[in-house]
């Protein structure tokens, strides 16, 4: 790892898991390029920067647009310097049976959850390769390893990133670049709050029943995963200690994928 200040670009970091990861990285001394669609993204970046005494910036890049991704990476490099860690965290969800699944939702989910990971990785790759160091960490899901009904686009997108993670692990090996995925079970964030109500409609259940009978049913440990656990694993994967871990998908899912 370089001795000078390190920089992380984290997509979807103005909410939920991404914001939690950004705080832990800022606390560890990383400069952060925040990204997301939240209107208060600029303020969030400023607050975190002030709290932990690190330089931060915010990019409102819409990850559905490859040219906006290129612009975000270029701005981050110009403002903060070379990017050491790219965390592909942004994600969207929609729950419906296949015959009712709207095509625009399919395209949105594949675009944000999967294609954007290709575009961000491609954009940072030349600079990481040139500096002989890079860490790409993809926040996929237990749904990158297992399926559930009514989540055709989400499960497809996350399985796609599981595959891309393996490819980038192999391609990055000669250049000091590692690529790994973290696969969380359920974490209580805005994305999951939306799913609880969608699942309730799809399964004709109450929201409490969805949590008990569907979400946590698949986990041996009947607790939501904590954002802090995901952030701690991401920080480890970014460290020198994780230099030979690559191309892999690491579950934090209360034992879901053990079944």
Catalytic center residues: 154
Shortest distance (Å) from residue 234 CB to ligand NAD: 11
Cα–Cα distance measured from residue 178 to residue 133, given in angstroms and rounded to the nearest whole number:
8
Cα–Cα distance measured from residue 239 to residue 147, given in angstroms and rounded to the nearest whole number:
31
Shortest distance (Å) from residue 174 CB to ligand NAD: 29
| CB of 17 or CB of 128, closer to ligand NAD | 17
For ligand NAD, the binding residues (CB under 6 A) are: 12, 14-18, 35-38, 62-64, 89-92, 112, 139, 141, 184, 186-187, 189-192
Give strand pairing partners of 179: 136
How many other C-beta atoms can be found within 10 angstroms of the C-beta atom of residue 226? 15
Shortest distance (Å) from residue 72 CB to ligand NAD: 9
| CB of 157 or CB of 246, closer to ligand NAD | 157
127-151 burial, b at 16+ Cβ within 10 Å, e below that, comes to bbbeeebbbbbbbbbbbbbbeeebb
Shortest distance (Å) from residue 3 CB to ligand NAD: 31
Helix (H, G, I), strand (E, B) or coil at 138: strand
**Integer angstrom CA distances of residue 129 from 38, 84, 134, 176, 219:** 32, 10, 7, 7, 39
| CB of 131 or CB of 156, closer to ligand NAD | 156
| CB of 133 or CB of 184, closer to ligand NAD | 184
């Amino acid at each position: 790892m370089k001795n000078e200040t390190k920089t992380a670009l984290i997509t979807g970091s103005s909410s939920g898991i991404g914001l939690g990861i950004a705080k832990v990285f800022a606390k560890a001394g990383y400069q952060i390029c925040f990204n997301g669609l939240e209107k208060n993204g600029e303020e969030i970046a400023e607050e975190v920067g002030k709290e932990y005494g690190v330089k931060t910036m915010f990019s409102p890049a819409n990850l559905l647009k490859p040219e906006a991704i290129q612009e975000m990476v270029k701005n981050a490099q110009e403002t903060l310097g070379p990017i050491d860690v790219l965390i592909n965290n942004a994600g969207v969800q929609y729950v419906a049976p296949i015959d009712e699944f709207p095509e625009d939702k399919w395209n949105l989910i594949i675009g944000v959850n999967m294609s954007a990971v290709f575009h961000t990785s491609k954009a940072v790759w030349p600079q990481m390769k040139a500096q002989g160091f890079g860490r790409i960490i993809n926040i996929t899901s237990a749904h990158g390893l297992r399926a559930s009904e009514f989540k055709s686009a989400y499960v497809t997108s996350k399985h796609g990133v599981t595959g891309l993670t393996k490819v980038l692990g192999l391609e990055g090996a000669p250049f000091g670049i590692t690529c790994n995925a973290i696969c969380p079970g359920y974490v209580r964030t805005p994305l999951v709050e939306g799913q609880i109500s969608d699942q309730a409609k799809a399964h004709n259940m109450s929201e409490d029943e969805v949590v008990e009978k569907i979400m946590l049913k698949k986990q041996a440990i009947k607790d939501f995963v904590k954002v802090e656990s995901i952030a701690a694993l991401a920080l480890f994967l970014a460290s020198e200690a994780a230099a030979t871990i690559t191309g892999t998908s690491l579950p934090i899912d209360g034992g879901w994928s053990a079944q």
